[in-house]
Structure 1
Amino acid sequence: MILGSAGITTSIVGNAIGSSSRDIGTLCTHNNINKWSKHKPIRYNKVEGLSDEEFKGTSGDNSLGIYYGIKASTSAGNYNQLHDTNFDYIGKPNGGELSPFRLGDFRGYDTNAVPTLTGEITNLAYTNVPKSFNCSVIYDYTGSNTTGIDFRELINTDGDAIKFENYYPCILVGDYARGLFNEYNSQQTSIKFNNAWYNKFYADISSGNFPTSYINTKQTCTLFLTRNLYVEGGITDLRNWQYVKDKANAYNAFAVPNAVAKKVEIKNYRTYTILEAIKCIRESNGVKLTLYFPEGRPQTSTSYIIGIESPGSGSKKWEYSTSSIPVMSISFTWSELGILPIPNQTYTVSGSITNGGNLVSNFNFDNI
């Protein structure tokens, strides 16, 4: 629901945020307010309505990393403080002389607004598996998100010539940070590179002085954007892993929503390559699974056991050989599954793939 620019009443606002109160102060400080909406009550020393520019907040709030009432940046602090970026809605008005309540702040309020920038971080990574420490930087570059907080406006407030699209995605792992690599070309690029936007990146933990003490542990990880990977003189050098605890981030670094203080398990090695069953079809005499290596094919021959648990049960050993291109499929007859199929009845085909006793992946296909 998006509230209009005219005819705002306490009833309209109360219904939008799920409050039975018709008190302006109660509505302007209600816990149900969607913090990601650009238009919502914020503290500002002004009685009349705010302009779009004023909704970004006062210069004093901006200097504290507060934009649109949200604690969105730790640009005046240290790198390791990025783990504490909670995007809390701390800029609500208090009704005092310098921070009056304005019901009109709800004009253009969107109950379903989301930020224009979000991120994702894997929960498991291996030092010897390229691209296993994968991350996503998801930005609405189309401009269709007009009601949510636009991180481009936050980052560009410094007036610097380096704009949002030229910022580099980075990862803070414990007390170490490094620029991410673009999955497309395996280079450390900005989120827009050669006139194209990218959202798939990964952290290289096999080189660049990644701390060995972090291996076989769970580390707190935060995705962030920075305008420079390297600053001459060694102030900042995120081209490789750098110890950044208590190190001032002199060049603005912005944490990415949904990707703050995530726990990632970092393991020393994995003895197998992931193999997945991505398709299942019914054949006249059984079922056929289509197989796929999502991270690339193994460098050496290796064997997998594909087991079907339903319907019936059965398993087959499937070996990948580097000497030839394998047929990436495997079939099970009804007899091998130990069932007599009923005509016109569909089945759920589920099971797992293992390698040397290690669970590699699971699969589940309905209506086969």
Structure 2
Amino acid sequence: MVRATLGESSTSASVLCRSDKINWQARNKPTIYPKNFDLTDAERIGHPKQTNNGIYFGIRMGTVYGRLADIHNATFEYLRPQGGAEEPWRIGDFRGYNQAARITPIASELSTEIQCQAEQAFACRIVHNTNNNGGINLDEILTFMRQSGMDTFSLANAYPCLMLTRKGGTTHAVRALKCWDTRDVTPLYHNGAWHERYYIGMERGTLGDAAQLLPTTNGSWPLTVSVFLAGVLAGDHFDLHNWCLTNDGNPAWVLPQAIGLYDACGKSATYTVFDDSPSGGNESIWRVYVASLTQISTGIRFVINSNRNTSSTTYQLFVDVAGCGSNSKTFTMPQYSSTNLDFTWNELRMGPPAPAAGSTYNIRMQIHSMSGTSATTLWWEGQKTITIQ
């Protein structure tokens, strides 16, 4: 059965237990341990003779020390058994083995949709604890680390961070992500609750020469994007509360247990403004949205979220309801918080009285920058169909 699962031709225990086809992300698999028979979970988690970051389920967690640029290469290493008295071949270690298992330090979906004009937006969902079909749970690993005194790094105190590098480039932009619930830089555990949704934005000019990292026209613009965890945000050379530039020659700076996940993204020609939360339980995919739309007793409320890094700026919100009417309002967007704008049924020619429950309307929205009293550059746009409650 083990031979068939791995796709090996040999029936030799030494070949099967050291096969390159073993999914090292699986919880149960042959690992280094001085025992002749099956391992317990406690034995599989840690090996006493390995003290360099420890071995957890046969995996050593990589740590980035030295160059921020190395974060893209942060990884995990599978330490296979060697055989002999110290690390014997134990076919029983395959009991519970899952060929399709995935490790769960960070599960992320990176948005490739950005706004038309000014800002490159990134979205990721940090999953700190999940049943992942036999994969290894980072919470469990870190709990063991703390209990054994092998490491002081705590998942609860970890800050999700992001590093961007243009394909083939040597300039990297690094920053801590903001928590979607607090709109601020916070660790995964904050104010008595675990947080999973983190985001950040970057505007042209924020980093001066780093504007080369951002697209200027529609089309492909590949970026390497690494999401990692950092226990410390400020050091001698950087403060990751803000965007920082680094390159391959920057001096050493410690990022404890930097765990990377990278992807490439490019500029999209369109950007969906409205909240597009997943349905059907698919919670691993979501996007940072510019504006959400909710029904209130007197009309419709737009919640406009800011992820700007610049000072407050004046904008105009234009709303058009198909078959009814349109209206606009001017507002000043705070630097980091959200803004509520309410339109009554009458202002949108949808009443009075309020439209009938169950009726549907297609609503189009645009946000323009303002120059004096005139709307100028289109900032965001989108549309959504709503059903009156």
Q: TM-score, normalised on structure 1?
A: 0.63
Which residue pairs with 2:328 in the alignment? 321
1:295 to 271, 290, 296: 290
Separation (CA, whole Å) in 2 of partners of 1:238 and 1:277: 28
1:83 to 72, 91, 100: 72
Pair 1:184-2:181 in alignment: yes
Measured after TM superposition, the shift of residue 92 of structure 1 is 2.1
Change (3 A) 1:130 1:190: farther
Greater mean deviation of Cα atoms: 36-45 or 147-156: 147-156
Change (3 A) 1:131 1:15: same
Contact preservation (8 Å) 1:49, 1:105: yes
Measured after TM superposition, the shift of residue 131 of structure 1 is 8.9
Greater mean deviation of Cα atoms: 243-252 or 317-326: 317-326
Measured after TM superposition, the shift of residue 273 of structure 1 is 6.5
CA deviations on 1:122-176 (whole Å, 9 max, x unpaired) are 22445977893211101226xx569421223444537455521121111111222
Which residue pairs with 1:238 in the alignment? 240
Measured after TM superposition, the shift of residue 97 of structure 1 is 6.0
Separation (CA, whole Å) in 1 of partners of 2:153 and 2:79: 28
Which residue pairs with 1:274 in the alignment? 272
Separation (CA, whole Å) in 2 of partners of 1:109 and 1:72: 20
Which residue pairs with 1:101 in the alignment? 89
SS of equivalent residue, structure 2 residue 127: strand
Amino acid at match of 1:185: T
SS of equivalent residue, structure 1 residue 83: helix
Which residue pairs with 1:68 in the alignment? 57
Contact preservation (8 Å) 1:122, 1:133: yes
Change (3 A) 1:241 1:182: same
Pair 1:197-2:191 in alignment: no
Measured after TM superposition, the shift of residue 301 of structure 1 is 4.7
Separation (CA, whole Å) in 2 of partners of 1:194 and 1:129: 33
Measured after TM superposition, the shift of residue 228 of structure 1 is 1.7
Separation (CA, whole Å) in 1 of partners of 2:325 and 2:136: 50
Separation (CA, whole Å) in 1 of partners of 2:36 and 2:65: 30
Which residue pairs with 2:264 in the alignment? 263
Measured after TM superposition, the shift of residue 33 of structure 1 is 2.8
Separation (CA, whole Å) in 2 of partners of 1:134 and 1:251: 22
Which residue pairs with 1:167 in the alignment? 158
Separation (CA, whole Å) in 1 of partners of 2:140 and 2:231: 14
CA deviations on 1:322-347 (whole Å, 9 max, x unpaired) are 3845468239xxxxxxxxxxxxxxxx
Root mean square deviation, CA, Å: 4.5
SS of equivalent residue, structure 2 residue 264: strand
Which residue pairs with 2:232 in the alignment? 228
Change (3 A) 1:33 1:247: same
Which residue pairs with 1:250 in the alignment? 254
Which residue pairs with 2:223 in the alignment? 219
Q: Percent identity?
A: 23
Contact preservation (8 Å) 2:223, 2:266: yes
Contact preservation (8 Å) 1:276, 1:294: yes
Change (3 A) 1:137 1:14: same
Measured after TM superposition, the shift of residue 41 of structure 1 is 1.1
Measured after TM superposition, the shift of residue 184 of structure 1 is 1.1
Greater mean deviation of Cα atoms: 177-186 or 103-112: 103-112
Amino acid at match of 2:92: G
Separation (CA, whole Å) in 1 of partners of 2:223 and 2:362: 39
Q: Gaps spanning 5+ residues in structure 2: where?
A: 166-171, 216-220, 277-287, 292-301, 305-314, 331-342, 351-359, 369-376
Separation (CA, whole Å) in 2 of partners of 1:83 and 1:58: 27
SS of equivalent residue, structure 1 residue 250: strand
Amino acid at match of 2:177: L
Separation (CA, whole Å) in 1 of partners of 2:72 and 2:60: 13
The alignment covers a number of residue pairs equal to 297
Which residue pairs with 2:101 in the alignment? 113
Change (3 A) 1:55 1:248: farther
SS of equivalent residue, structure 1 residue 189: coil
SS of equivalent residue, structure 2 residue 185: coil
Change (3 A) 1:319 1:59: farther
Which residue pairs with 2:362 in the alignment? 330
Q: Gaps spanning 5+ residues in structure 1: where?
A: 1-10, 279-292, 307-315, 332-352
1:35 to 7, 24, 41: 24
CA deviations on 1:236-271 (whole Å, 9 max, x unpaired) are 521112234454342413325xx32x113369xx9x
Q: TM-score, normalised on structure 2?
A: 0.60
Separation (CA, whole Å) in 2 of partners of 1:38 and 1:176: 34
Measured after TM superposition, the shift of residue 66 of structure 1 is 6.1
Separation (CA, whole Å) in 2 of partners of 1:166 and 1:80: 23
SS of equivalent residue, structure 1 residue 132: strand
Contact preservation (8 Å) 2:112, 2:266: yes
Contact preservation (8 Å) 1:219, 1:266: no
Change (3 A) 1:75 1:167: same
Separation (CA, whole Å) in 2 of partners of 1:112 and 1:80: 30
